[in-house]
Amino acid sequence: MNKLKLFVGFIYKYAIFILLFLIALCSIILYGLRKDDIQMPGAKPLYHFYFIGQNSADPFWREVMRGVEAAAKDNNVVVEIYAPRFNDPQEELKYIDIATISRVDGIITHVSNSEGFTEAINKAVRNNIPVITFENDDAKSERNAFIGTNSYSVGKEAAKLLAEATGRWAKIATISSDDGSQGSIEHNAKMYGFSTTLKDYPGMKIVKNYSSKMGVLSAEEITQSIIESDEEINAIFTLSSADTLGTVRFIVDSNKVGQIAVVGYGSSDEILRYIDKEIIYGTIASDPYKMGYESVKNLIAIKSGESVPEFIDTDIQVITKRNLNMFTIGE
């Protein structure tokens, strides 16, 4: 009995030391594993860029940013992405100034038709920070390159699609976002291409041009006013993906499918599904992913001392039910 008591006493006396030993041993092992992980650093980023876009809720801009992120990963550069939830030219200008003050290696920026962009871009360039504009340009500035599409062709192809959709007879409304691009070279070129091409179709005319303020919701409200008006509009041309979605959503909700032909802009999954269901006759689409990817790729080339074209055309696509099988529609 005494021996049992001595044994229990021994275990009790030294148990705390055994426990502390085991904890220390585990800590050493875990520290060694963590240390190995920390000592596997990635390569130092080649450059640090700023990307300044707009309306991060718009499917078009989400694709642009996806292209930017992919190019950054493929080329080992860091790109800080700034895109206001809604269109805000003053926010864009603020971020250009922040990027310039921060002495980043390069800036990729959308340009709104607003005062201050030329000055902000020139200030960055004069501080040896190369600038690439995309989607909307500022040709008056000292930017290094512009990445975008032939805007005249966008309008031209849209007019041809509406002629197909309406049998060459239409009273047309246009809807474009008041995102700072109205009045820009690109916006004016789209409208000029559209209106000039319509001259080939005497039975087609633009009745009214609308301006949307808040993307999808604003386009829905405008479409409602079009339907409720006595102007007998039977065709709508939308100049952004957000306006396209807002327009067709209201047409569906108000049971007007087949009564109003819609030609829009964009190639998001939702837009492609509407084309498949023949709710949208067709769209003109740029390649936003390519636009984002090429902006990073060409900024790297500029930083490396290579020459790049002043205008880099990312092309347009005309999408209808006829060629929809060329596109992958997500779930």
Provide the mean pLDDT of the chain: 86
| Range 105-125 average pLDDT | 92
Report how far residue 224's alpha carbon sits from residue 238's, in angstroms, rounded to the nearest whole number: 14
**Cα dihedral: 115, 119, 125, 128 (round 10):** -130
Report how far residue 297's alpha carbon sits from residue 284's, in angstroms, rounded to the nearest whole number: 25
Beta bridge partners of 312: 147
Q: Which domains does the chain have, with CATH numbers?
A: 48-149+288-313 (3.40.50.2300), 151-287+320-326 (3.40.50.2300)
Higher per-residue confidence, 298 vs 7? 298
Report the percent of the chain where pLDDT is more than 70.
84
Question: What is the reported pLDDT for 40?
Answer: 29
Higher per-residue confidence, 14 vs 302? 302
Which one, of 123, 126, 69, lies nearest residue 96 by Cα? Answer: 123
Report how far residue 33's alpha carbon sits from residue 29's, in angstroms, rounded to the nearest whole number: 6
Burial per residue of 190-205, b for 16 or more beta-carbon CB atoms within 10 angstroms, e otherwise:
bbebbbebbeebeebe
Helix (H, G, I), strand (E, B) or coil at 60: helix
Strand order in the sheet with 170-177: 204-212, 170-177, 235-238, 261-265, 282-286, 316-320
Residue 279 · residue 253 · CB < 8 Å:
no
pLDDT bucket at 7, cuts 50 / 70 / 90: very low
| Range 41-63 average pLDDT | 84
Report how far residue 195's alpha carbon sits from residue 65's, in angstroms, rounded to the nearest whole number: 32
Report how far residue 81's alpha carbon sits from residue 261's, in angstroms, rounded to the nearest whole number: 37
CA 139 from chain centre, in angstroms, equals: 21
Question: What is the reported pLDDT for 183?
Answer: 58
Cα angle 45-124-76, degrees, rounded to a multiple of 5: 15
CB contact set of 154 (below 8 Å; sequence gap of 6+): 189, 190, 193, 265, 284, 286, 316
Q: What Å distances lie between residue 41 and 38, 72, 261, CA to CA?
A: 7, 18, 56
> Is it the case that residue 272 has pLDDT exceeding 90?
yes
Report the percent of the chain where pLDDT is more than 90.
69
Helix (H, G, I), strand (E, B) or coil at 248: helix
Report how far residue 242's alpha carbon sits from residue 230's, in angstroms, rounded to the nearest whole number: 25
Question: What is the reported pLDDT for 20?
Answer: 40
pLDDT digits (tens, 9 = 90+) for 209-259: 999 876 789 999 999 999 999 899 999 999 988 899 999 999 999 999 999
pLDDT digits (tens, 9 = 90+) for 174-183: 999 775 555 5
Question: What is the reported pLDDT for 177?
Answer: 79
Question: What is the reported pLDDT for 328?
Answer: 78
pTM of the entire predicted model: 0.77
